Structure 1
Amino acid sequence: MAGAFTGSPKVVEHGAINWGTIAHPVWHPSSSTPVSIMIDSTSRLLTPESSTGERSESEELAVSAGGNDEELVVSVSSSFHPGSHDATHDAIFRTSDSVLFYVHSSVMKASSPMIFDQFLSSAASQDDIIDVPESSAVLNVILHSLYNLSCASYAPSFDLLEEAVDRMGFYNISPKTQIHPGRQLFSLLLTHAALLPLRIYAFAAHHQLHELAVRSSSYTLAFSVSQVTDAMARRMGAVYLKRLMFLHIDRQEVFKKIILQPPEMHPVTKACGFGDQKRLARAWALAAAYLVWEGKIDVPINTLQKTFSGLQEGLECNGCRATLSNRIKEVAIKWAAAKAKVLLVTDELAAPGDFVLYQAVFGLVKDIGSPGTAGSGAKVLVLSSFVDLGRWKSIGIKYGVNLSTHVTSGAVQFVDLGETASEPLPSSRELSSTPPFASPVEIVAKALETESETLVILDSLAELEWMGYKTLDVWRFVRKLRAICLKAGSTLIIRHHVASPNHPDEMFLKLLEVSSYHLDVRPMYSGRSGAVSGEIALHTGPLAGDSEGEKVKLIPRRMALQYRMTDTGPLYFEKGTSEGVL
């Protein structure tokens, strides 16, 4: 967009924008004549889209100089122009391609007083133009990061983001202070991880951005480590290269242990002897060796099922068919569990485990960042028999989270099972023709279709049985929910109240069979204490990988971690180390 301003200031309309008569004197790069740029402080400088649909970093304005008919073109940043922010600017940057940025030193120096110090100290007044040896595209990314604003609307490529971060050190900016969970640049970089996982990982390793390296490492499993170039290896460094290699090696070992074991043998019959069953075992071994030889460690579950299901052709023995079918299901479940986890949380009336759910939800919400920002696709879905939203909001304030904004944006969603599920059937009927939890299952399935990183929490499972729902209906609901989460690679947390820890109920035993981990919250059986609220232990479940215990710090019951509830959440400590405990 361009508007010609000649003579005295006047209002010029461009489309629906009314350019007012607010003038700001600047100096044009190629002239010593002051130029008045007419900008309406109440309107935003719109940037015309390029042929690729991306916004440019600047807005070109045609202005008149000194009353002459000659027009000069001044490029002003579309995000950092006079009036673009609440406070008045106190510095003007000019890039190598002659684009002006009106900035605020107090905002830029929030993380360090040395940021841009060598440039800002050279300006005598706020109207002096400071030359910065960067292109407008690079400086635009750097300033958006300092202001913690999203520059996703400009659709910057990863090459541009990488160049901008590499140049931060020149201006005394530490990338660690700008790229971490909750910052806009962190979320924007993470959006490139699916397509460029190795480059993102190398970039994060080079700048010691641990959280970004961890988040992007899972995407590297879809690629072979042979694709790591010499330049990438040097950029990663020895430590992070070793971590990447071990991640792929461990994943390969888990995959081998899951698929190499052949189906179990059934009792020998006249129609199917020992030799016939050995042929099935050899066929399984060949199929498993084929999958392992390919070297892929991110094999889809449907590929595994299709490969091993082909062995059923030619099998006439029903026993062999049954054992093969059971083995295929077992492989699919274990491989899915290796990608996504199911955490079972049990508690008692004297020691409720609400704080575990609060920490999981609010911790993830803080990592998501501001609602509606780029990269904030991760969501939280809480299903409960009774949703007390007011209590969740009040607890969120203690954790420093404004839950209302995240609920409004859809980042956090609560599903009241008492309202969405159908009424429990009378005891005279054994099972319902239509599952009573069909509607909640549909809500979860729809949410996971668009957001594969959703954390799903199923709270107060025991209360569903107390409300009159049959144990079998509740169990089928859990199995369906778990299957949806495993397919999407999402984590599922299930909380179950235990009435008597010494006499576990049927639902608890069923839940334990399908869990990757079991977090047990118990009260102090020695008696109530003002210094200790309870203790927790963490155990592996049947579906945890063989090497999971080495990666996750388990807490056995004999060394249970004690905690005390405070106004701001739980305070953890080892046994006997709390104040007032000998």
Structure 2
Amino acid sequence: MATFPPPDLLSSGQVVIVTDQILSPADFLLHRTLASHFKDHKDARCIVLLVSESISRWNAIASRATVNLAALIESQALRFLDMVKDIQPHLGTDDSTRSTLVPLINEVRSLLQQQGDVQADQPTLILLDDISTLEWMGYATNELAKFLRALSILARKGNASLVVRHHVITPDTPDELFRFLLQLCTYHIDVRPLSSGRSGAVNGEISLYRGPSNGTAHVKTIPRQHAVQYRLTDAAAVYFEKGTGQAVL
């Protein structure tokens, strides 16, 4: 049976983008990433930037993976920043008065500094659950690009890994924000529905590519023709090699 993600994909300084589509949302992969981060590292830290999912949903799914978010939040190992709540009062106003994303960058910087003061070598993850919704709210692509670039710089300086999800609406015609993310990333995880259509045994497939910012990283990539397929269950996702879905039923 296949596994995903590969070991060391989220090592310090890596910038990983996760793209998904309407028929194959990658929520499960984000939740798995958070759970694995805390299970694999005793002194792990994580900052989650919320856009499209609530803390209650994160808590409900984490409990199925036996991860106690309440305890992690209480110990400040896990911090949630509700981006929509912070910018909501300014939505609909003109560009001269609308809040920028700079305060959020400053808040992430402050949290990284606080966590760094606790233990310099602790594994740290920054997870942005949805960048696309901010664009749909009216933020310009160049403004989001500046925000993402600043976020990636903070992650690399703080030896943290950064995961950003982007919804792809037109797979055959990449949008401007998608193209920018591809230039920024170390790795690109692409979650897609089956090209052959819906299946009761398989929910979708996952490919993994190196990005232009990949220097010495050597995680084995997964081209689309050898994509890892997955099936979602109540508790988690089951992964398997392409064409072997019936074996896990």
- The bucket for the TM-score relative to the shorter chain is 0.7 to 0.9
Contact 2:50 2:129 in 1 (8 A): yes
The answer to whether residue 36 in structure 2 is matched with residue 363 in structure 1 is yes
Other-structure match for 1:446: 110
Deviation at 1:420, TM superposition (A): 2.0
Aligned equivalent of 2:213: 543
Partner residue, 1:578: 245
Structure 1 residue 347 and structure 2 residue 20: aligned?
yes
Q: Give the structure 2 partner of residue 523 of structure 1.
A: 193
Is the 1:539–1:554 Cα contact (8 Å) retained in structure 2? yes
Which aligned runs of 4 or more in structure 1 are off by greater than 3 angstroms? 424-427, 432-435
Contact 2:226–2:242 (CA<8 Å) still a contact in 1?
yes
2: CA distance, partners of 1:552 / 1:423 = 42
CA root-mean-square deviation? 2.3
Contact 2:90-2:98 within 8 A present in 1 as well = no
Equivalent position of 2:86 in the other structure: 420
Partner amino acid for 2:82? D
Matches within 5 A, 1:113-192: none
CA pair 441-364 structure 1, distance change in 2 beyond 3 A = same
Cα distance in 2, alignment partners of residues 357 and 382 from structure 1: 10
Instruction: Tell me how far apart the structure 2 counterparts of residues 450 and 580 of structure 1 sit (CA, whole Å).
Output: 47
1:224-275: per-residue Cα shift (whole Å, max 9, x none)? xxxxxxxxxxxxxxxxxxxxxxxxxxxxxxxxxxxxxxxxxxxxxxxxxxxx
Contact between 1:424 and 1:469, CA under 8 Å: does it hold in 2? no
Change beyond 3 A, Cα 1:474–1:538: same
CA contact (8 A) 1:350 1:523 kept: yes
2:45 aligned with 1:405, yes or no? no
Counterpart-to-counterpart distance in 1, 2:191 and 2:163: 14
TM-score (norm 2): 0.86
Q: 1:274-300: per-residue Cα shift (whole Å, max 9, x none)?
A: xxxxxxxxxxxxxxxxxxxxxxxxxxx
Where do residues 82-121 of structure 1 align in structure 2 (5 Å cutoff)? none
For the residue of structure 2 that corresponds to 1:415, the secondary structure is strand
Name the aligned partner's letter for residue 140 of structure 2.
K
User: 1:458 maps to what in 2?
Assistant: 128
Local SS of the residue matching 2:201: coil
Secondary structure of 2:246's counterpart equals coil
Summarize the Cα distance change of 1:390–1:434 in structure 2 as closer, same or farther, 3 Å threshold. closer
Q: One-letter code of the match for 2:156?
A: L
- Which residue does the alignment assign to 2:120? none
The answer to whether the Cα contact below 8 Å between 2:51 and 2:130 also exists between their aligned partners in 1 is yes
Alignment of 1:107-506 (within 5 A): 340-369=13-42, 376=43, 378-421=44-87, 423-424=90-91, 426=93, 429=95, 432=96, 436-452=100-116, 453-506=123-176
**Which shows bigger deviation, 460-469 or 418-427?**
418-427
Counterpart check, 1:534 vs 2:204: yes
Give the corresponding residue for 2:4.
none
Q: State the 1:434 CA deviation.
A: 8.1
Residue-by-residue CA offset, 1:287-341 (whole Å, 9 max, x unaligned): xxxxxxxxxxxxxxxxxxxxxxxxxxxxxxxxxxxxxxxxxxxxxxxxxxx9611
SS of the equivalent of 1:501 reads coil
1:567 alignment partner, one of 228, 234, 237: 234
1:451 counterpart SS class: helix
1:410 Cα deviation from its structure 2 partner: 1.2
1:391-419: CA deviation from partner (whole Å, max 9, x where unpaired): 11111111111211111221111111012
CA contact (8 A) 1:420 1:439 kept: no
CA distance in 2, matches of 1:572, 1:552: 18
Paired-residue identity, %: 39
**Where is the helix percentage greater, Structure 1 or Structure 2?**
1
CA distance in 2, matches of 1:387, 1:525: 27
Equivalent-residue separation in structure 2 for 1:387 and 1:533 (angstroms): 21
Cα contact 1:341–1:491 (8 A) shared by 2:
yes
Query: Structure 1 residue 556: deviation in Å?
Result: 0.5
Which deviations, in whole Å up to 9, do the C-alpha atoms of 1:193-245 show, x marking residues without a partner? xxxxxxxxxxxxxxxxxx9xx9xxxxxxxxxxxxxxxxxxxxxxxxxxxxxxx
Whole-angstrom CA distance in 2 between matches of 1:488 and 1:406: 20
8 Å CA contact 2:16–2:163 kept in 1: the answer is: yes
Aligned to 1:75: none
SS of residue in 1 equivalent to 2:25: coil
* Contact preservation (8 Å) 2:17, 2:164: yes
Q: Deviations over 1:479-534 (max 9, x none)?
A: 11111111111111010000010011100000100100000000012111010000
Distance 1:519 1:355 in 2: 13
Name the amino acid aligned to 1:361.
L
Q: How many residues align?
A: 233
Structure 2: runs of 5 or more not aligned:
1-6, 117-122
In structure 2, give the amino acid aligned to 1:442: N
Is the partner of 1:576 in helix, strand or coil?
A: coil
C-alpha displacement of 1:351: 0.3
TM-score, normalization: structure 1?
0.38
The alignment partner of 1:484 has SS state of: helix
> Greater strand share, 1 or 2?
2
1:554 corresponds to 2:221: yes
Name the aligned partner's letter for residue 171 of structure 2.
P
Letter in 1 for 2:226: M
Distance 1:463 1:532, change over 3 A: same
Q: Give the unaligned 5+ runs of structure 1.
A: 1-210, 215-337, 370-375
SS at match of 2:237: strand
CA distance in 1, matches of 2:156, 2:97: 26
Counterparts of 2:225 and 2:53 in 1: how far apart (Å)? 35
By how many angstroms is 1:568 displaced? Answer: 1.6
* Residue identity in the other structure for 1:570: A
**What amino acid maps onto 1:354 in structure 2?**
D
Give, in whole Å, the separation in 2 of the partners of 1:339 and 1:406.
21
